[in-house]
């Protein structure tokens, strides 16, 4: 395993940490491997000497404090789930309230005036659509705002 693969695997294993903590530990191991290669050791030997990325990550995570770990994004999860449910319900009702409940009748014929009657549920759940759009916009704005803070 070379240095790049080792650091990639280590980064993947450390995903529970904050970004700044991950970068700190990646820099440390990158520097350690570079120091070993400067002393006539190949990258593969240096990485083998350090051990597996999983073992290194386990040690780092065991010694990490609660402040080093990422906080759970409860608000984002709730907003995303609500958006998904509302979109699914809105799409279902849009499909369900279309033509299957409607009927068209034509009365008349070749000898007189023709009348066309349309019967069925024409109105759509507009308030549900408005709520869906509102929750979806709130979710998008939440994630944009959160991204801008970082």
**In angstroms, what is the C-alpha Rg of the chain?**
30
d(CA 78, CA 95): 26
Direct distance between the N- and C-terminal alpha carbons of the chain, in angstroms, rounded to an integer: 33
Are β-strands 103-107 and 115-119 bridged in parallel, bridged antiparallel, or unpaired?
antiparallel
Q: How confident is the model at residue 110 (pLDDT cuts 50, 70, 90)?
A: low
Beta-carbon count within 10 A of 12 CB: 12
Q: Flag whether pLDDT at 113 surpasses 70.
A: no
Beta bridge partners of 103: 119
pLDDT value, residue 150: 60
pLDDT in tens, 122-131: 567 889 999 9
Helices 19-38 and 43-50, packing angle to 10 deg: 120
Written as six digits, the tokens of 27 are 């820099």
Alpha-carbon distances of 60 from 2, 6, 76, 105, 110, rounded to whole Å: 20, 15, 27, 74, 87
pLDDT in tens, 59-68: 998 888 878 8
Residue pointed to by tokens 């000497």: 49
Q: Which of 33, 130, 143, 24 is nearest to 80 (CA)?
A: 143
Q: Flag whether pLDDT at 140 surpasses 60.
A: yes
pTM: 0.52
């Amino acid at each position: 395993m070379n240095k790049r693969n080792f650091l990639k695997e280590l980064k993947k294993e450390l995903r529970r940490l904050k970004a700044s903590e991950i970068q700190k530990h990646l820099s440390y191991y990158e520097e350690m491997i570079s120091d070993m290669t400067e002393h006539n050791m190949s990258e593969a030997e240096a990485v083998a000497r350090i051990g597996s990325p999983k073992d290194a990550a386990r040690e780092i995570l065991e010694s990490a404090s609660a402040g080093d770990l990422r906080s759970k994004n409860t608000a984002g999860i709730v907003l995303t789930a609500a958006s998904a449910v509302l979109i699914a319900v809105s799409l279902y009702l849009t499909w369900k309230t279309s033509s299957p409940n409607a009927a068209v009748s034509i009365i008349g014929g070749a000898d007189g005036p023709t009348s066309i009657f349309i019967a069925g549920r024409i109105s759509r759940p507009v308030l549900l659509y408005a709520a869906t759009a509102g929750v979806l916009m709130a979710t998008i704005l939440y994630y944009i705002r959160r991204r801008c803070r970082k």
